Amino acid sequence: MYSAEIILEQRTRALSEINLNGFGQRHQGKVRDFYSLPGNRRLLVTTDRQSAFDRILGQIPFKGQVLNQLSQFWFEQSSDILPNHMLSVPDPNVMLAREAQMFPVEIVVRGYMTGVTDTSIWTMYQKGSRQMYGYNFKDGMYKNQPLATPIITPTTHAELGGHDKPLSRTEIIESGLVAEEIYTQIEEKALALFARGQELCGKGGLILVDTKYEFGLIDGQVAITDEVHTPDSSRFWIASTYESRLGQGQEPENFDKELLRLWMRSKGFGGDGAPPALDEDIIARLSQRYIGCYERITGREFESDLTQPVAERIKANLEGLAL
């Protein structure tokens, strides 16, 4: 684990974006820059950009490496469950992947009655909904309790700036978004991935609370793409204090980027207007949080090159690569 001092020193070397020569047109998502390569491949560069409330707030040192290497870990740990898009990891922040035909839905899996966004089951339940995402919920449920069994709560995959909308299995199939036979496979794979995620997170003392998967077709087969069980796509709680805090009516101890949302709220930001500028303390704590997730989940010590800007390192690592 790096000290706050080392992390802050690395700010000038963090990756805000990448411009690669000879790779064609660059595309940008909120967090990743990517290039389409011949042979149905996609070069995904995970930057250090930090987003919250759908806005980019700045860079968090080591974040891109953590996300990319955590996804790599999970692709390796789930290859017996289903195929994935990973071909190679030519740099700690880069994944060479197979281009998938993406499904137009985001597959969210939830293990707990919780959440704060409009599409979360606790928000809707609290407002009186008992029928959500095609499931029936009984009265008397309480916040943060485990669900009897994890459930899939799919949403639309909104374009940049848009908001994801809740869907149900029936809506997805009847509207023709995904064929029933394929959707059934996606459901099976999503639940198996989530179970593997809960098992391995448990070994690191974390609870995998909920997560978002992006599936696509590769060679006609359902495959997992994008990122898996990272702090950007998932929520984690500390396992050892969960029961006692729940019993005392306290919120579970979060171990994901909830830290950032709470900090923004404490600065008076509720989602509208200009977000507060990240200060040194929150930058260091967030970076340590990301690194902590990597270390707990993989059981490995996080190591990075502290000597050169991430962009320079990436260019050097991609240089001699036969693409």
Ligand X SMILES: Nc1ncnc2c1ncn2[C@@H]1O[C@H](COP(=O)(O)OP(=O)(O)OP(=O)(O)O)[C@@H](O)[C@H]1O
Question: Nearest residue to ligand X, using CB?
Answer: 29
- CB 304 to ligand X: min, Å: 21
Judged by CB under 6 A, does residue 295 bind ligand X?
no
Judged by CB under 6 A, does residue 70 bind ligand X?
no
Q: What is the 3-state secondary structure (H, E, C) of the chain?
A: CCCHHHHHHHHHHCCCCCCCCCCCCEEECCCEEEEEECCCEEEEEECCEEEECCEEEEECCCHHHHHHHHHHHHHHHCCCCCCECEEEEEECCEEEEECCEECCEEEEEEEECCCCCCCCHHHHHHCCCCEECCEECCCCCCCCCEEEEEEECCEECCCCCCCCCECCHHHHHHCCCCCHHHHHHHHHHHHHHHHHHHHHHHHCCEEEEEEEECEEEECCEEEECCCCCCCCCEEEEECCCHHHHHHCCCCCCECCCHHHHHHHHHCCCCCCCCCCCCCHHHHHHHHHHHHHHHHHHHCCCCCCCCCCCHHHHHHHHHHCCCC
Judged by CB under 6 A, does residue 212 bind ligand X?
no
Stretch that binds ligand X, among 27-35, 69-77, 119-127, 129-137 (CB under 6 A): 27-35
Q: Which of 85, 189, 229, 235 binds ligand X (CB under 6 A)?
A: 85
- CB 83 to ligand X: min, Å: 11
Q: Per-residue x/- marks for ligand X, 39-68, CB under 6 A? A: ---x--------------------------
C-beta of 29 vs 275, nearer to ligand X? 29
Judged by CB under 6 A, does residue 94 bind ligand X?
no
C-beta of 108 vs 239, nearer to ligand X? 108
Residues in 102-121 at the binding interface with ligand X, rule: CB under 6 A: 102
**Contact footprint for ligand X (CB under 6 A):** 29-32, 34, 42, 85, 97-100, 102, 214, 216, 225-226
